[in-house]
């Protein structure tokens, strides 16, 4: 019988304790999502997520701020983009270490 975890690559845990997880989620929320790319870069270095994840967060967060400063903000779309990205990043940061299995 073959076990799926015998030849599986070793995966580091993102958070050491629950307090560590809470601190990171609070930091992402308190910084309005601006510190999400560094968090996910650390997660990518630990091989918890792929390197594409911090790149996407950086492009959305920092790119929208740069575009907003260049073209102006007549309809206040920047606040909405940052709010949605902050919520998504906080939820994503909170579920980084959960082991998702089918049937749960």
9-26 confidence digits (pLDDT tens): 556 678 878 898 899 889
Number of domains in the chain: 1
Q: Which domain holds residue 64?
A: 18-94
In a domain, 63, yes or no: yes
b/e sequence 91-100, b meaning 16+ C-beta within 10 Å? ebbeebbeee
Which of 26, 87, 85, 90 is closest to 61 using CA atoms?
A: 85
In the predicted structure, residue 66 carries a pLDDT above the cut 90: no
Nearest to 43 by CA among 34, 33, 54: 54
The pTM (predicted TM-score) of the whole model is 0.75
* Closest of 54, 52, 55, 26 to residue 40, by C-alpha: 54
Does residue 45 lie in a domain region?
yes
Confidence of residue 96 (pLDDT cuts 50, 70, 90): confident
43 occurs within a structural domain: yes
- What are the φ/ψ torsions at residue 53 (nearest 5 degrees)? -60, -50
């Amino acid at each position: 019988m073959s076990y799926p975890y015998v030849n599986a690559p070793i995966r580091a845990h993102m958070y050491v304790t629950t307090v560590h997880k809470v601190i990171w989620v609070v930091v992402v929320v308190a910084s309005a999502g601006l510190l999400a790319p560094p968090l996910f870069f650390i997660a990518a270095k630990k091989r918890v997520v792929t390197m594409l994840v911090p790149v996407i967060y950086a492009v959305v967060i920092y790119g929208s701020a740069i575009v907003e400063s260049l073209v102006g903000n007549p309809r206040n779309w920047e606040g909405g983009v940052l709010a949605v990205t902050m919520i998504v990043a906080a939820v994503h940061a909170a579920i980084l270490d959960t082991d998702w299995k089918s049937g749960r």
